[in-house]
Structure 1
Amino acid sequence: MFRLKRRVIQLMIMVISVILLVSLFFWLDILIPVLIGIAIVAPLVVGWQILFDQVQPQGKLAWLLTVFFIPFIGVLAWVMFGRTPRRHRRFKRTSSEIRMLRQAIESEKIETSPEIASAYPLTRTLEKLGATGANGHTSTKLLVNGESKFEALLEVINNATDHIHIQYYLFRTDEISLKVRDALIQKSNEDVTVRFLYDGLGSQEIGEDFIQPLRESRVHVQAFDPVLHPYLVFNANFRNHQKLIVVDGQIALTGGLNVGDEYLGKNEKLGFWRDTHLHLEGPLVRELQQLFVENWLYAGQGTMDETWDLFADEEHLSRYFVNEPKGQNGATQLLVTSPGKDVTIRDGLMRLLMEAKESIWLTTPYLVPPPELLAILEVAGRSGIDVRIVVPGKGDEWFSFHASEYYFEQLIKRNIKIYKYNRHFIHAKTLLIDGKVALVGSANFDFRSMFLNHEMMIAQFDTTSIQELHDTFLKDFEESILIDWTMLRKKTTRKRFVEAFCHIFSPLL
């Protein structure tokens, strides 16, 4: 029924489009003055809205230039990508369902112990900035690249005994995606409760042919902010970019990898795909469980199929929010950013970067930093701190790739080392400070991750996986090309123009 309805809507859109195109030939003399009027009025109306948006000045200026100089495309782009969260009506983090959930699990929240706060004072600081409490009994293991991540993913799915909560920004319909889907179906047929959440825009490739077998096997499926059609997207901003699976309330996987064959290096254009994920067990999984449930309740707004009490009433609380400490392992805590004024990850990054004494090592596929983060990196580099940034040798996004390269000269002048990954594409979102503090998660070092997307990062202090991350960085440096002035001087005028042009729109990327 859903598939038929979607096809009918698509057919109606095509018919209307044809009628409008044909009508242009008969009504051209009438349409021209109308179009001129729209080209004048629409930018003024949208420009007025942009002036009062709570966004950074760079973003306002970029949108105003776009709207006034290319009015039709600019206005449509703003409607799709530029509206601020206060106009996004479905986004209500304070809905009654989520409030009830938070009240019910208040006793399950992690509290930073005096011992942890004394050993790692920054955990208290991050908590004040919006992070969860810090826990010292959560085990962490680094999963490097697609092979180890998907092996771990399928293993935890196959070993599930009670429930599987899985959400991804991008879920393909290719070989590995079908393998994961079929594993979920198998567990559901074994009476394991499976909830499958995907982002409506990032996973638009998923159709009813992919979803129907899940539903037939009693898997609960929901889209986070679904889109009507790839060409009719009016909520393109504020996407859920998080990657997370929680199994039996005890094990969680999160990090940079979505689900698709390209993450196994099978993309002909990008080739080898470097990425980083994280395997966690212990009390911090409760915080990740809460994150999933809140996303699930939000995605199901307007329905009464599943409510907060199915997760957190007296009967279900111990099932989903398991308290099973592991051995002492430094400290871990969760940072989450949501669209709007919630900038926990941005603020946490700023605080951690300012605390660096010896080194700042960063990997990011998109180096389009907000000015405040860029300034901290520059000050650190000029202060003699060892600042190294690893970026892709090849890009998957044309605009972002060239906008990133615009910053190279500016950063190198501040004694910051830029490495281009020589095995083509690096998608990892990792940060290592002084070899002791780390961040691993879904957030890129760009405007979109800091202000527009739903993102998540795991902060770690002296955990066992930090040494693994340190060794991974060293290997990435070896497999990268260090950018120097000789390479920058060889840039053609055309290349410099492209970079400068893309940089103008960097606040929109």
Structure 2
Amino acid sequence: MSSLKRRVIQFIAAIAILILLLIVLFWIDALLPILIFIAIVMPFVIGWQILFDQVQPQGKLAWLLTVFFIPYFGAFAWVLFGRTPRRHRRIKRTSTEIRMLRQAIESEQIETSPDLVTAYPLTRTLEKLGATGADGHTSTKLLVNGEAKFEAVLQAIEQATDHIHLQYYLFRTDEISLKVRDALIKKSNEDVTVRFLYDGLGSQEIGEDFIRPLRDSRVHVEAFDPVVHPLLVFNANFRNHQKLIVIDGRIAFTGGLNVGDEYLGKDEKLGFWRDTHLRLEGPLVRELQQLFVENWLYAGHGAREETWDLFADETNLPRYFVNEPQGKNGATQLLVTSPGQDVTIRDGLIRLLMEAKESIWITTPYLIPPPELLAILEVASKSGVDIRLVVPGKGDEWFSFHASEYYFEELLKRNIRIYKYNRHFIHAKTLLIDGKIALVGSANFDFRSMYLNHEMMIAQFDTTSIQELHETFLNDFEESIQVDWAMLRKKSTVKRFAEAFCHIFSPLL
């Protein structure tokens, strides 16, 4: 949709809303009793639904208070963002397609070898909690910050010979975004199959002007749960926050970075942007390929031209699901979480935290921990484990930033060290336990990532990139200011009020 056309539509919508408002004001005397009746009844109707939702008690309480004390706003917000995932049903054909895909590639999925289980017993535990099998021959390379990530991604795209699968939560339309888009167009024109998947809410600035050149070059484009969909009220709250690229079924990229100029430190407000990504090559890429294909089939609703057999019949299976072991490299596993009862990342995180004997180091841009994770950290701290959290010195979202800082006092009471990144913003989602076990991926240390988003994390045991991650943590500590009680006592009353207010809504963020 062109910019002019969009502005015309927005102008017409504004006029329509103004006319509707005038009509409501004109008839307000007649409508007032009806509006009061609705404001009284509606909270009880929605409240009944909230009571039986399978969500955390804190989330229920926050929604109930919002709906009862701000009826119209609360009801609108709940319909848009509060419905539980059990109301988020896949289209029947899509479910069938995904089931057929899983059956076709069952033999290609990784099985954890007895040797790996002996060396790393936790791999079997994570597998029981929902993770994939563990592989000992997948190479991993840490990509620190935007320049390293985009350089590696663009180089891999340029070298692609068969297909490129790209999926992002947030894809801008700025300089680096156009550079990546044009690289995809170039490869598509060279007869490389390109599939471009973006989240319908996170990448909402993508319009027809951006997409048309892709489609004109035969790039396949899909939006994951677009917000303009008629079923908006069922899916707006359940976003696909994963970042994933799979090239030729051999190379994959995942981690914390989306695609936009701010990830290169070009945002005037945030300045330097600290982040972490991961490049993988080897058998685990097959599991990442399956994740992309399932998301693709869902986004396309099982469209006739993009069915499961296009990826996994006898002809296409070796094309998309390549098995090329690399050198021996510890163990790697994929953990994936989807909205609903699937809490693999949360359960895996709890189990890994319980394993810590010496240290737990975490970087997260949004520190809004569910109570069970906070309790695990408290127990670990009392056991003498060195716990350090690296959080942003400057926030990109006002609500989340202040809600995160509310927890500082509670964490300091538990002897947990907090480091505010002094080069402004840190967006990495990483965990390092005892310097031997690591998680790198898209999930934040908050309610939303644990329960509402589609997320992914790569678990690593004694891989070559763990030492690289250890070094990045040491650098982040050096670049940070450690929070102490003197800093907390200097908080103004306004600051304390803002944090307390935002904390009330933390289960909704």
| TM-score, normalized by the shorter chain, greater than 0.5 | yes
The question of whether the paired residues in 1 share the 8 Å contact of 2:105 and 2:312 is answered with yes
1:186 & 1:268 partners in 2: Cα distance?
A: 31
The question of whether the paired residues in 1 share the 8 Å contact of 2:131 and 2:333 is answered with yes
**2:254 counterpart letter in structure 1:** T
**2:262 counterpart letter in structure 1:** E
Aligned to 1:494: 494
Say if 1:340 and 1:30 are closer, same or farther in 2 by CA, change over 3 A: same
**1:440 counterpart letter in structure 2:** V
Aligned to 1:53: 53
Q: Does 1:44 align with 2:41?
A: no
Aligned to 2:324: 324
2:91 & 2:73 partners in 1: Cα distance?
A: 26
Say if 1:229 and 1:323 are closer, same or farther in 2 by CA, change over 3 A: closer
Deviation at 1:114, TM superposition (A): 0.0
2:137 & 2:270 partners in 1: Cα distance?
A: 39
Unaligned runs of 5+ in 1: none
Per-residue Cα deviation, 1:108-144 (whole angstroms, up to 9, x for no partner): 0000000000000000000000000000000000000
1:504 & 1:140 partners in 2: Cα distance?
A: 40
Aligned to 1:136: 136
Say if 1:423 and 1:91 are closer, same or farther in 2 by CA, change over 3 A: farther
Structure 1, 299-308 or 358-367: larger mean CA deviation: 299-308
2:447 & 2:131 partners in 1: Cα distance?
A: 20
Q: Does 1:369 align with 2:369?
A: yes
Per-residue Cα deviation, 1:456-483 (whole angstroms, up to 9, x for no partner): 0000000000000000000000000000
Aligned to 1:443: 443
SS of structure 2 residue aligned to 1:194: strand
2:143 & 2:419 partners in 1: Cα distance?
A: 22
Deviation at 1:228, TM superposition (A): 1.4
Deviation at 1:305, TM superposition (A): 2.1
Aligned to 2:35: 35
Deviation at 1:149, TM superposition (A): 0.3
Say if 1:302 and 1:279 are closer, same or farther in 2 by CA, change over 3 A: closer
Per-residue Cα deviation, 1:348-399 (whole angstroms, up to 9, x for no partner): 0000000000000000000000000010011111221000000000001111
Q: Does 1:389 align with 2:374?
A: no
1:499 & 1:388 partners in 2: Cα distance?
A: 21
CA-atom RMSD in angstroms: 1.9
Deviation at 1:446, TM superposition (A): 0.2
Aligned to 1:187: 187
1:102 & 1:14 partners in 2: Cα distance?
A: 47
Aligned positions of 1:405-420 closer than 5 A: 405-420=405-420
SS of structure 2 residue aligned to 1:132: coil
2:82 & 2:407 partners in 1: Cα distance?
A: 24
Aligned positions of 1:192-271 closer than 5 A: 192-228=192-228, 235-271=235-271
Aligned to 2:125: 125
1:374 & 1:501 partners in 2: Cα distance?
A: 20
Deviation at 1:302, TM superposition (A): 5.4
SS of structure 2 residue aligned to 1:290: helix
2:93 & 2:393 partners in 1: Cα distance?
A: 38
1:234 & 1:113 partners in 2: Cα distance?
A: 41
The question of whether the paired residues in 2 share the 8 Å contact of 1:3 and 1:208 is answered with no
SS of structure 2 residue aligned to 1:278: strand
1:10 & 1:304 partners in 2: Cα distance?
A: 34
SS of structure 2 residue aligned to 1:95: helix
2:273 & 2:234 partners in 1: Cα distance?
A: 31
Unaligned runs of 5+ in 2: none
Aligned to 1:403: 403
Say if 1:412 and 1:324 are closer, same or farther in 2 by CA, change over 3 A: same
2:409 & 2:177 partners in 1: Cα distance?
A: 40
The question of whether the paired residues in 1 share the 8 Å contact of 2:448 and 2:508 is answered with yes
Deviation at 1:504, TM superposition (A): 1.0
The question of whether the paired residues in 1 share the 8 Å contact of 2:393 and 2:422 is answered with yes
1:348 & 1:82 partners in 2: Cα distance?
A: 25
Deviation at 1:229, TM superposition (A): 8.5
1:46 & 1:311 partners in 2: Cα distance?
A: 43
Deviation at 1:4, TM superposition (A): 11
Per-residue Cα deviation, 1:384-423 (whole angstroms, up to 9, x for no partner): 1000000000001111111111111111111110000000
1:236 & 1:97 partners in 2: Cα distance?
A: 23
Q: Does 1:100 align with 2:100?
A: yes
1:364 & 1:190 partners in 2: Cα distance?
A: 40
1:421 & 1:133 partners in 2: Cα distance?
A: 35
Per-residue Cα deviation, 1:48-104 (whole angstroms, up to 9, x for no partner): 100000011111001000110111111111111100011123477981000000000
The question of whether the paired residues in 2 share the 8 Å contact of 1:85 and 1:91 is answered with no
Per-residue Cα deviation, 1:147-206 (whole angstroms, up to 9, x for no partner): 000001101100000000000000000000000000000000000000000000000000
SS of structure 2 residue aligned to 1:380: helix
Per-residue Cα deviation, 1:481-503 (whole angstroms, up to 9, x for no partner): 00011111111122111111111
Aligned positions of 1:164-183 closer than 5 A: 164-183=164-183
Structure 1, 114-123 or 84-93: larger mean CA deviation: 84-93
SS of structure 2 residue aligned to 1:420: strand
**2:362 counterpart letter in structure 1:** L
Aligned to 1:70: 70
SS of structure 1 residue aligned to 2:77: helix
The question of whether the paired residues in 2 share the 8 Å contact of 1:284 and 1:332 is answered with yes
**1:404 counterpart letter in structure 2:** S
The question of whether the paired residues in 1 share the 8 Å contact of 2:110 and 2:283 is answered with yes
**1:356 counterpart letter in structure 2:** A
2:499 & 2:408 partners in 1: Cα distance?
A: 10
Q: Does 1:290 align with 2:297?
A: no
2:10 & 2:303 partners in 1: Cα distance?
A: 25
Q: Does 1:116 align with 2:116?
A: yes
Structure 1, 410-419 or 36-45: larger mean CA deviation: 36-45
